[in-house]
């Protein structure tokens, strides 16, 4: 083979080999900040109005210690905390989560929040080590109204 053709081929092979290292998924900063914490709902608004039962303001005392915990294996739990509002509701409910771009998708069913979810897509506005702000469009009630969820890490 001609040496002038071999050099570009060798360069391409070396470039390809260098870029094919380990295929481990690169964990985004949002994922790193999300996992291994207990997240409590701070506020949930719909069309600019606070939804008291889903926010720390106006929540029943038995709801104030509930939390979400997102795990590295892309599962989450919703835990009723130390005090439960309804003994018939399980202590924990599990589901799955994923992040694609700036969308956090939660799949599962959270009975105590009356959220029978197949897939809930939340737009990530900000996730820090101690707080997160997410937005959504209500399709459960069919209003198409904009909503916001804020959570705080314990």
* pLDDT of amino acid 6: 39
pLDDT category of residue 30 using cuts at 50, 70 and 90 = very high
- 56-93 confidence digits (pLDDT tens): 667 788 888 899 999 999 999 999 999 998 888 889 98
Q: How far apart, in whole angstroms, are the C-alpha atoms of residue 97 and residue 82?
A: 24
> To the nearest whole percent, how much of the chain has pLDDT over 90?
40
Q: How far apart, in whole angstroms, are the C-alpha atoms of residue 81 and residue 66?
A: 5
**Average pLDDT, stretch 3-13?**
39
Q: How far apart, in whole angstroms, are the C-alpha atoms of residue 122 and residue 102?
A: 8
**Average pLDDT, stretch 31-38?**
95
Q: Are strands 120-127 and 131-137 parallel, antiparallel or unpaired?
A: antiparallel
- Pair 55, 44: CB distance under 8 Å: yes
- Pair 65, 82: CB distance under 8 Å: yes
72 or 118: whose pLDDT is higher?
Answer: 72
Residue 75, CB half-sphere, CA atoms under 13 Å: how many? 6
- Pair 70, 40: CB distance under 8 Å: no
Task: Evaluate if residue 112 carries a pLDDT over 70.
Answer: no
pLDDT category of residue 7 using cuts at 50, 70 and 90 = very low
Phi–psi pair at 25, nearest 5 degrees: -70, 135
143 or 5: whose pLDDT is higher?
Answer: 143
pTM above 0.75, yes or no: no
* pLDDT of amino acid 136: 87
Task: Kindly state the helix (H) or strand (E) to which residue 6 belongs, with its residue range.
Answer: helix 3-19
């Amino acid at each position: 083979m001609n040496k002038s053709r071999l050099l570009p081929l060798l360069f391409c092979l070396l470039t390809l080999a260098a870029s094919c290292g380990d295929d481990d998924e690169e964990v985004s900063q949002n994922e790193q900040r999300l996992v291994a914490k207990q997240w409590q709902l701070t506020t949930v608004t719909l069309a600019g109005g606070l939804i008291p039962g889903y926010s720390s303001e106006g929540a029943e005392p038995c709801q104030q210690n509930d939390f979400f915990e997102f795990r590295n294996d892309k599962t989450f739990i919703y835990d009723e905390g130390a005090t439960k509002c309804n003994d018939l509701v399980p202590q924990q409910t599990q589901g799955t989560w994923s992040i694609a771009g700036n969308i956090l998708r939660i799949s599962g069913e959270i009975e105590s929040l009356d959220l029978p979810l197949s897939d809930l897509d939340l737009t990530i506005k900000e996730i820090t080590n101690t707080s997160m702000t997410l937005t959504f469009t209500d399709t459960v009630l069919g209003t198409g109204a904009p909503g916001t969820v804020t959570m705080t890490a314990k």
